Amino acid sequence: MRDSQLRQEILDWYDRFAREMPWRIAPADRKAGQVPDPYRIWLSEVMLQQTTVAAVRDYFHRFTTRWPNVRSLAAAEDGDVMGEWAGLGYYARARNLLKCARAVVEQHGGTFPDTYDALLTLPGIGPYTAAAIASIAFDLPETVVDGNVERVMARLHAIETPLPAAKPELTKLAQALTPETRPGDYAQAVMDLGATICTPKSPACGICPWSTDCVARAKGIQAELPKKTPKNPKPIRYGVAFLAKRYDGAWLLERRPDKGLLGGMLGWPGSDWGDVATEAPPIAANWQTVPAEVRHTFTHFHLRLALRYADVSQDCRPISGNFLPLDKFRPSDLPTVMRKAFDLTQGFLQED
DNA sequence: AACACGTGGTC
DNA sequence: TGACCAAGTGT
């Protein structure tokens, strides 16, 4: 049976080479009866959505130190969780993380549900994450299909249909290979293979446990798969941000609305971002132009953000935002684009 | 169904 | 150096 041979090959490879991760107990180190903590699996899987392992590590450690279980996270302040997530991106994940933690506490007694379908109903848990938690935390034979699995399946079977159209076919192929035994290790093994050997560019076929099974490699087209439909070019948008510092060191910041870009995060008041930047100061002051602009690229546009700075000596009410006292302001609570604005402004102030 | 949604690393 | 890419989800 070819499928069982494939499973054997990749699980052997995983048993020998699985890397230690903060959220993972590798098979070699797993003691009898030891089971994964669904909270840690869930948290790591949400952080890993569209995000590299290297970027996640420190965030995972900070989150689990500060909130060691789902009950403590559910009880956290929104702003604290958003601040701890700052810099990791895709901030809807953090908002849904809190919603999910609170749903687990309020609707499931503080215990994660242990079926794919029940997991899928929770905020921020889609088909991938539901399958990952079900297989890794609960040892259920569900099929994870992420970017790695898509790439590995496309090459193994030489599927030349471009993504995303090929997704249903690749999902079927992945399902056909999912084993009844050790489904969690198998899921992680395929993803690890994609992340470390069957990489997007110049895959390391020479050390791949599936090299002799791989149809794309036999055809010599492995590096060209999976094919993808080309993406649209990113437009350039322009904006102005206003950084005001009060006499006592407090900075004028605003909490962005929950929907849309950087939703729920702290940010500097400013104009909308569009084809042209409009001056829209949040408080009457003697605004200075910071002689540097933030350049930042989001998923679907480039941003050029002009910066204005003002000392605010009088205690007048801002039109938008609130002064955040110095002892409550951590620059690390800012999303990266806002952090860049802060750093450039600080540099400008220190030159004077 | 296509688009919105972040960021940092890589070549 | 700019485009591509990463363990996707919500709308």
A281-318: per-residue pLDDT in tens?
A: 999 999 999 999 999 999 999 999 999 999 998 777 89
Cβ A206 to strand C below 7 Å: no
Mean pLDDT of A277-282: 92
Nearest nt to A149, CA vs C1'?
Answer: C7
Q: Name the residue with tokens 């649209």.
A: A232
Select the more confidently predicted residue: A324 or A25.
A324
Cβ A48 to strand C below 7 Å: yes
Q: Is the pLDDT of residue A230 over 90?
A: no
Q: What gap in Å lies between CA A319 and CA A209, rounded to an integer?
A: 62
List b or e across A131-163, with b for residues whose CB sees 16 or more CB atoms inside 10 angstroms. bbbbbbbbebbbbbbbebbbbbbbbbbebeeeb
Q: For chain A, what are the domain ranges?
A: 2-224, 236-351
Helix axes A183-196, A127-138, angle to 10 degrees: 120
Cβ A140 to strand B below 7 Å: no
Strands A288-297 and A322-324: unpaired
Give A307's strand partners.
Answer: A241, A290
Give residue A30's pLDDT band: very low, low, confident or very high (50, 70, 90).
Answer: confident
Cβ A155 to strand C below 7 Å: no
Q: Is the pLDDT of residue A28 over 80?
A: yes
Q: What is the model's pLDDT at position A121?
A: 98
- Tell me, in Å, how far CA of A145 is from C1' of C2? 29
Residue nearest to nucleotide B2 (CA to C1'): A164
Q: Is the pLDDT of residue A149 over 80?
A: yes
Give residue A251's pLDDT band: very low, low, confident or very high (50, 70, 90).
Answer: very high
Mean pLDDT of A324-344: 97
Give residue A340's pLDDT band: very low, low, confident or very high (50, 70, 90).
Answer: very high
Whether A42 and A114 have beta carbons less than 8 Å apart is answered as: no
Whether A247 and A253 have beta carbons less than 8 Å apart is answered as: no
Nearest nt to A150, CA vs C1'?
Answer: C7
Q: What is the model's pLDDT at position A16?
A: 94
What's chain A's average pLDDT?
A: 95
Select the more confidently predicted residue: A41 or A23.
A41
Q: What is the model's pLDDT at position A113?
A: 98
Mean pLDDT of A128-134: 97
Fold of A236-351: Nucleoside Triphosphate Pyrophosphohydrolase (3.90.79)
Q: What gap in Å lies between CA A144 and CA A156, rounded to an integer?
A: 16
Residue A73: other Cβ atoms inside 10 A = 22
* pTM for the predicted model, two decimal places: 0.97
Mean pLDDT of A156-181: 95
Residue nearest to nucleotide C8 (CA to C1'): A49
Concatenated DSSP letters for A158-195? T--SPBTTTHHHHHHHHHHH--SSSHHHHHHHHHHHHH
- Tell me, in Å, how far CA of A91 is from C1' of C10? 12
The beta strands (E) that lie in A188-256 are given as 236-246, 251-255
Q: Which nucleotides of C are covered by protein (CB under 7 A)?
A: 3-10
- Tell me, in Å, how far CA of A246 is from C1' of C6? 41
Cβ A96 to strand B below 7 Å: no
Nearest nt to A120, CA vs C1'?
Answer: C9
Whether A142 and A135 have beta carbons less than 8 Å apart is answered as: yes
Cβ A129 to strand C below 7 Å: yes
Q: Is the pLDDT of residue A352 over 80?
A: no
Q: What is the model's pLDDT at position A236?
A: 95
Nearest nt to A89, CA vs C1'?
Answer: B6
Lowest-confidence pick of A19-33, A80-94, A176-190, A217-231:
A19-33
Enzyme catalytic residues of A:
45
Q: Percent of chain A having pLDDT more than 90?
A: 91
Residue nearest to nucleotide C7 (CA to C1'): A48
- Tell me, in Å, how far CA of A335 is from C1' of B6? 9
Fold of A2-224: Endonuclease III; domain 1 (1.10.340)
Q: Which nucleotides of B are covered by protein (CB under 7 A)?
A: 3-9, 11
Cβ A96 to strand C below 7 Å: yes
Task: Establish whether domains A2-224 and A236-351 are of one fold.
Answer: no
| Neighbour-count burial of A260, counting CB atoms closer than 10 A to its CB (0-12 exposed, 13-18 middle, 19+ buried) | exposed
Distance of CA A31 to the CA centre of its chain: 30
Cβ A148 to strand C below 7 Å: yes
- Tell me, in Å, how far CA of A298 is from C1' of B1? 22
Structure tokens at A40: 């840690």
> Which residues touch A76 (CB under 8 Å, ≥6 apart)?
A67, A98
